[in-house]
Amino acid sequence: MKDIILKAENISKQYRLGEVGTGTLKHDLNRWWYKIRGKENPYLKIGETNDRSTKGTSDYVWALQDINFEVERGEVLGIIGKNGAGKSTLLKILSKVTAPTIGSIKCKGRIASLLEVGTGFNGEMTGRENIFLNGAILGMTKKEITSKLDEIIEFSGCERYIDTPVKRYSSGMTVRLAFAVAAFLEPEILVIDEVLAVGDAEFQKKAIGKMKDISNQEGRTILFVSHDLSAISTLASRTLILANGKIIANEETNKAISIYSSMETSSSIFIQEPLLNVPSVTKVEVVTSEGGILHANGKALKIKFEINMPYENYENLAFSFQIINHLQVPILYDYIFDINTRIGRQKGANYLEFTYPNLALYKGNYSIVVHLAETKTKTKFQEFKCCLFEVEMIGMKEPEWGWQKNVCQYLDKGNWEIL
Amino acid sequence: MDSKNTNDWLFEITPKNKFFSLNFKEIWQYRDLLMLFVKRDIITVYKQTVLGPLWYLIQPLFTSITFTIIFNNVAGIKTGSIPPFLFNLGGIMVWNYFTACLNGTSDTFKSNASIFGKVYFPRIITPLSIVISNLIKFGIQFGIFIFFYILFYFRGADLSLNISILFFPILISFMGILGLGLGMMISSMVTKYRDLNNLIGFGVQLLMYISAVMYPMELIKEKLPKFGWIVEYNPLAYVIETSRYMLLNIGSISILGLLYTAIITLTVFFVGLLVFNRTEKSFIDTV
């Protein structure tokens, strides 16, 4: 039987847009007038789905709508979604900072939330004093903090500065100290917003490691929001996707990530109308290992091309493509010419496929550039960039310092020998 | 704990539909936080200052000197056998405690928005901590009052203690609770309507003049019989008049007036608590 520690039922949250001014007073009075007559709040009926980009007609929006989910004891639940999807609102409700408009969350354990590191830190006070203050704000008693003080100081690595006012700390040190306090909290449920986005790589590694310990060894439940898909994929067992205030998927993490990446506006498929009288590339599709635009390092990547030919038996066609990184630097290149092999001899659609059996691109964003030309007259028909895709180090053993961005473009297997 | 039982929920997060909910058990759990907030309020004020806690004394002393010169020497308000300086110091000290509590608590939500927006703890902890840390500051000011009391006594001033001084702590708690209650009310309303902020600054200043701080209550009845009622209906005036009676054996004590003050104080406190309690659940969306 499943041991449900937290259950959210029909959580919805309405916000009023615009400024608070004299109009607010009018609405307040109106709401109060409905209330004393025993009627329902008139403004709950209106309200629109929270889509930031379109102009709405109503002053009220639903930041969250009908959120239902359950979390099992010891589970790590990831929450992903674009900016404004309602992630932070959900976390705020979970951490009791704000109340839902409708619905309820039932809970079987203490919730501690970490929406920000160092909440309530006071620059004038020393590191030690701040450990006590911050710990107490997060719900620890003085006794609990005292018993863990040495561990906290050691974990933070700020021992030397512990009796110096925090305003003299570097920002990195403040974050370390603050995270150290939070890491030694002992609630049954821990709610974490993107606090890991701060600090250096070594510290992030330490923080992720600590979170793994909390869930694996200590069996505590974590709800974790992040934009960093690789952090989600290493930590979370199940992931919720929020979009416009609604849950659109509640799946096992890898599946959720692939659904999420297919939602992205930058598509892995490129289609265009054929040109008249000249050859043209009409479709390019990148088939990634994880679906959508997300590709796992070391797995097979297939690229499909569709070339439209104006007439039959066209000769000397030359086709090539490059894979370029986010800085537009070409990393890989391959070609096929109509010399030894015959390509593009049919009128209309011609199909080509290229497969990298284990594409070892390093994590980052990549695009395809295609070139279509004729070898004899050296005419270039087309050259364009398309199909953004993202490589992540999914399922790879992480190095000690974590996967850092832009350390390389290509990561192939090889062997070390110590002589 | 039988965690298999799915109805066995520890707590529930729901919309704010209860009329009043104050979880005393929870507040008790956070008592350490209360004390740490008090400590923070006290020590951060004088960090990186040369005079440190002496600042708590400078303000009432200089105000008393100014009042003595203006109201007693220039305007000629009589304080009987009591040295005017001591008369003013006593009144200002008690009045300061009220204003410090009121000012401190009245922007609870606004000045703590960044903490309240990120972390949950019973919000009442914050105004409570302000009232307590101000009580400590009041204690320091009371110390300087005792110092001058003894000084004047040995220089031959006609000073005598009144037995009712035993009730002085209760009187001070009235002042604290009244400041807290009003502060909570204002802080709750300020979250939505910032207009009130502008009102408080000069409102408190004006209030001082009708609270019998720099004159005996008798005097206003005698000199302005038509407007004396303004002072008479002001609970603060009773507290200040009574505290002078207790400390300096001057003026009058009115049981009826004190009863009236107690009723007003408790009413203000409970209304403040209610409004505060209603606001704490939703303010983060409006602040």
Q: Residue B139 — very low, low, confident or very high, per pLDDT cuts 50/70/90?
A: very high
The B-side interface with A (CB below 8 A) comprises 3-4, 6, 8-16, 29-30, 32-33, 35-37, 39-40, 43-44, 47-48, 114-121, 192-193, 281-282, 284-286
Q: Which residue has the higher pLDDT, A134 or B219?
A: A134
Query: Using an 8 Å Cβ cutoff, are B126 and B206 in contact?
Result: no
Domain regions of chain B by residue span: 37-285
Q: How far is A71 from chain B (nearest CA, A)?
A: 12
Task: Enumerate the residues of chain B whose CB falls inside 8 A of the CB of residue A191.
Answer: none
CB contact under 8 A, B15 and A137: no
Cα–Cα distance list, A96 to A181, B120, B209, B242 (Å): 20, 6, 43, 44
A37-60 mean pLDDT: 59
Q: Which residue has the higher pLDDT, B127 or A194?
A: B127
Q: Residue A265 — very low, low, confident or very high, per pLDDT cuts 50/70/90?
A: very low
Q: Which of A15-19, A147-151, B278-282 has the highest mean pLDDT?
A: A147-151
Q: How far is B112 from chain A (nearest CA, A)?
A: 9
Q: Residue A302 — very low, low, confident or very high, per pLDDT cuts 50/70/90?
A: very high
Who among B6, B36, B284 is closest to A132 (CB)?
B36
Residue A395 falls in which region: left (phi positive, over 0), alpha (psi -120 to 50) or beta: left
Q: What pLDDT is stored for residue A18 in this prediction?
A: 58
A392-416 mean pLDDT: 82
Q: What pLDDT is stored for residue A49 in this prediction?
A: 58
Kindly tell me if the per-residue pLDDT of A47 is higher than 70: no
CB contact under 8 A, A107 and B6: no
Does A275 lie at the interface with B, CB-CB under 8 angstroms?
no
Who among B9, B29, B39 is closest to A107 (CB)?
B9
Does A56 lie at the interface with B, CB-CB under 8 angstroms?
no
CB contact under 8 A, A96 and B120: yes
> What's the gap between Cα A322 and its chain centre?
27
Q: Domains along chain A? A: 70-263 (3.40.50.300), 269-392 (2.70.50.60)
Q: What pLDDT is stored for residue A260 in this prediction?
A: 75
**B187 burial level (CB within 10 Å; 0-12, 13-18, 19+):** buried
Please name the residue of chain B whose CA is at the shortest distance from the CA of residue A101: B15
Kindly tell me if the per-residue pLDDT of A59 is higher than 80: no
CB contact under 8 A, B15 and A142: no
Q: What is the mean pLDDT of chain A?
A: 81
CB contact under 8 A, B13 and A116: no
**B53 burial level (CB within 10 Å; 0-12, 13-18, 19+):** middle
Q: How far is B122 from chain A (nearest CA, A)?
A: 10
Kindly tell me if the per-residue pLDDT of B124 is higher than 80: yes
Q: What pLDDT is stored for residue B5 in this prediction?
A: 46
A148-159 mean pLDDT: 87
Residue owning tokens 């890898």: A254
Kindly tell me if the per-residue pLDDT of A63 is higher than 70: yes
Interface probe, candidates A93, A95, A121, A124, chain B, greatest B C-beta count within 10 A: A124
Q: Residue A262 — very low, low, confident or very high, per pLDDT cuts 50/70/90?
A: low
Taking the CA of residue A201 as centre, how many other CA atoms within 13 Å lie in the half-sphere pointing to its CB? 10
Please name the residue of chain A whose CA is at the shortest distance from the CA of residue B123: A97
Kindly tell me if the per-residue pLDDT of A22 is higher than 60: no
Q: What is the mean pLDDT of chain B?
A: 83
- pLDDT 10s digits, A353-402: 999 998 989 988 888 999 999 888 888 888 888 888 888 888 777 777 77
Q: How far is A166 from chain B (nearest CA, A)?
A: 12
Q: Residue A411 — very low, low, confident or very high, per pLDDT cuts 50/70/90?
A: confident
Q: Residue A199 — very low, low, confident or very high, per pLDDT cuts 50/70/90?
A: low
Task: Enumerate the residues of chain B whose CB falls inside 8 A of the CB of residue A19.
Answer: none
Kindly tell me if the per-residue pLDDT of A230 is higher than 50: yes
Task: Enumerate the residues of chain A whose CB falls inside 8 A of the CB of residue B115.
Answer: 119-120, 137
Who among B8, B29, B121 is closest to A108 (CB)?
B8
A162-178 mean pLDDT: 85
Cα torsion through A97, A100, A105, A109, rounded to 10: 10
Q: What ipTM does this complex have? A: 0.79
Q: What pLDDT is stored for residue B4 in this prediction?
A: 44
Kindly tell me if the per-residue pLDDT of A416 is higher than 70: yes
Q: How far is A94 from chain B (nearest CA, A)?
A: 8
Whole-number Å distance between alpha carbons of A301 and A309: 26
Query: Using an 8 Å Cβ cutoff, are A319 and A372 in contact?
Result: yes
Report pTM: 0.70
CB contact under 8 A, A97 and B119: yes
Q: Which residue has the higher pLDDT, A51 or A143?
A: A143
A195-217 mean pLDDT: 74
Kindly tell me if the per-residue pLDDT of A28 is higher than 80: no
CB contact under 8 A, A105 and B10: no
